[in-house]
């Protein structure tokens, strides 16, 4: 059973607008989350993370929001740029070593 | 130069052949991981290693083995490749902040 879910396989957004990528998790014990971006023919690269002691973390155009009661996190990209077109994975860090990844959302930013 | 490198980047092999995928890192991290990615699925953990003498199975280790030759090197072997091991394979390291750094991936096709 998928413990970290990204229910939208793809998303298209106009350049300059906001992109919102969503992620749900099933285990309320998860307390640290990460977002990765992946371009074709490259490995995932770390984008931003959030601990459960926070409900928001911001880094430039990227903001991650965490709603613990809903077991939901989202990544906001404002403004979206064509170079943001990639596959985005959310992940939960569990215990001392394990990362549980979602299936990814392919974002396409239209110029 | 890339911090995490993988060789080969692409490999086509036949059922029953032995294959080794290699990973090297210059980040100085103790923790290293091997994942596979299949279409429609997130990254799944094959093996992980906390240091040269500490190697552990992940969720899908059957049919795979690993060797941690040095802090910087972590190899994945398929002793007798089968077609359902066709996938994209990623090596990763992680730091004390639990951020993972991925290699560029190896695309393996088993005919």
Cα–Cα distance measured from residue A38 to residue A21, given in angstroms and rounded to the nearest whole number:
14
The DSSP element (H or E) to which B48 belongs, if any, is strand B43-51
Give B62's contacts (C-beta < 8 A, 6+ positions apart): none
- How far apart, in Å, are the Cα atoms of A69 and each of A2, A4, A22, A29, A74? 19, 15, 15, 12, 14
Tokens of A63: 């903001």
Q: pLDDT at residue A1 above 80?
A: no
Q: What is the pLDDT of residue B1?
A: 58
pLDDT digits (tens, 9 = 90+) for A48-76: 999 999 999 999 999 999 999 999 999 99
Give SS3 for A30. Answer: coil
pLDDT at A95: 83
Contact B103 A98 (CB under 8 A): no
Q: Choose among B4, B43, B48: nearest Cβ to A101.
A: B43
**Chain A CB within 8 Å of residue B56 CB:** yes
With 0-12 / 13-18 / 19 or more C-beta atoms within 10 angstroms meaning exposed / middle / buried, residue B5 is middle
Place of tokens 């307390």: A31
Distance (Å, whole) CA B6 – CA A8 = 30
pLDDT tens digits, A72-87: 999 999 999 999 999 9
| Distance separating alpha carbons of residues B43 and A67, to the nearest angstrom | 24
Q: Please, is A62 exposed, middle or buried when counting C-beta atoms within 10 Å of its C-beta (0-12, 13-18, 19+)? A: middle
* Per-residue tens of pLDDT for chain B, all 111 residues: 569 999 999 999 999 999 999 999 999 999 999 999 998 888 999 999 999 999 999 999 999 999 999 999 999 999 999 999 999 999 999 987 788 999 999 999 999
Most B CBs within 10 Å, among A44, A64, A90, A93, to test the B interface: A44
Task: Give per-residue pLDDT as tens, B60-72.
Answer: 999 999 999 999 9
């Amino acid at each position: 059973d998928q413990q970290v879910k990204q229910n939208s396989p793809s998303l298209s957004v106009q350049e300059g607008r906001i992109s919102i990528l969503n992620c749900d998790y099933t285990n309320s014990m998860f307390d640290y989350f990460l977002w990765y971006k992946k371009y074709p023919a490259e490995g995932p690269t770390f984008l931003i993370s959030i601990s459960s002691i926070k409900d928001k973390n911001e880094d430039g155009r990227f903001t991650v929001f965490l709603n613990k009661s809903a077991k939901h996190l989202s990544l906001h990209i404002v403004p979206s740029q064509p170079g943001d077109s990639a596959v985005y994975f959310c992940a939960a860090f569990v215990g001392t070593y394990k990362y549980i990844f979602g299936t990814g959302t392919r974002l396409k930013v239209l110029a | 130069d890339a911090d995490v490198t993988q060789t080969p980047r692409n490999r086509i092999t036949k059922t029953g052949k032995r294959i080794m995928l290699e990973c090297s890192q210059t980040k100085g991290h103790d923790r290293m991981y091997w994942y596979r990615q299949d279409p429609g699925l997130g990254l799944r953990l094959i093996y992980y290693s906390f240091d040269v003498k500490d190697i552990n199975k992940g969720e899908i280790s059957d049919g795979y083995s690993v060797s941690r030759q040095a802090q910087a090197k972590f190899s994945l072997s398929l002793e007798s490749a089968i077609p359902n091991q066709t996938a994209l394979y990623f090596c990763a390291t992680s730091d004390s902040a639990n951020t993972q750094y991925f290699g560029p991936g190896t695309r393996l096709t088993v005919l």
